[in-house]
Amino acid sequence: MLISLEFPYLPAQSDATGSPKLQREYGSRAPTSSSKERGLTRSQAIARVPANASPGMFLLLERGGVKLISTAFIATCLMFLVPTAMVEVGADSPPLLDEIVESYDAGIVRTRSLIESLSVSQIMVEPQKDGSNMRARAVLTYVSGKGMKREELSSELLYPVGRYTLESLTGPELGVDEYSLVLSGTEDMEGTLCYRIEVTAVARDMHHFDGTVWISVADHGPVRVVGEIANPPFPVIEITLDKSFVPHGNGMWLVARHSGEVEANLLLGRKRALRHIFYEGYSIVLIEQP
């Protein structure tokens, strides 16, 4: 299934360095661009950041569908954001992995079909070179059949923030015809025992990603998703994502934090945007079941 993205425009003043507070909290382990020099991929570095960290503790990202990008300096990012024996999905794969993925995907589809309406507060935080943060607050409102609306309450951000759908708040589907999947064991993630599944997109486009998905052993809900878009659109070089989810009853898991980073190669050099988005106070009305 396609992965949902909502990504910010690239602010000219952003770069790949962490804020002073980030460096104080994590020291040399802070997930900055130097992580690659230490032998870590960006998605591995991001995965080390605590999902429950406060907005001021680490680099701010947001990820989602890509918005249009102008060569002026990105006016738009197209929209559309342990170890055990490894088991790969395929014709001869053990039933465990097939069952996990089938149950996980069914849960994502079921969550979307159960929601009649919802509202949630959205807080965006974007780091600046001087160590300060720029913020925006909004309320997202969804009604089945009418889609999602975003009402901005306040904003210090200089660039548009994207369009949202119900898929923005749920985990990505992992159809075996769209991804190559490997079960690499179980581990604790954010206090939940999870299956750790490595994913590689078969379709190499902006709608699919490579990375890691942690799925709850108890109910096969999404706990965390970390990765990179398989093939970002020109002039974007890299788009990362990091989503953490929390359960909301009835087998539903919805996003609590969505982090992302975009880097583009422009005429005046490379630019990078970082943003974190937090979701608080979900109010959900379910469709009445017959």
pLDDT in tens, 130-177: 889 999 999 999 999 999 999 999 999 877 777 899 999 999 999 888
Nearest C-alpha neighbor of 143 from the set 161, 123, 165, 171? 165
Whether the predicted pLDDT of 276 surpasses 70: yes
pLDDT at 95: 56
Using only C-alpha atoms, the chain has a radius of gyration, in whole angstroms, of: 18
Q: What is the mean pLDDT of the chain?
A: 75
Task: Report the C-alpha gap between 181 and 102 in whole angstroms.
Answer: 12
Per-residue pLDDT band for 289 (boundaries 50, 70, 90) equals: confident
Strands 133-143 and 269-286: unpaired
pLDDT at 265: 86
Q: Could you tell me what percent of the chain has a pLDDT over 70? A: 67
Whether the predicted pLDDT of 118 surpasses 80: yes
Per-residue pLDDT band for 28 (boundaries 50, 70, 90) equals: very low
Whether the predicted pLDDT of 5 surpasses 70: no
Task: Report the C-alpha gap between 73 and 271 in whole angstroms.
Answer: 7
Task: Report the C-alpha gap between 121 and 280 in whole angstroms.
Answer: 5
pLDDT at 41: 43
Burial code (b: 16+ CB inside 10 Å, e: under 16) for 131-151 equals: eebbebebebbbeeeeebeee
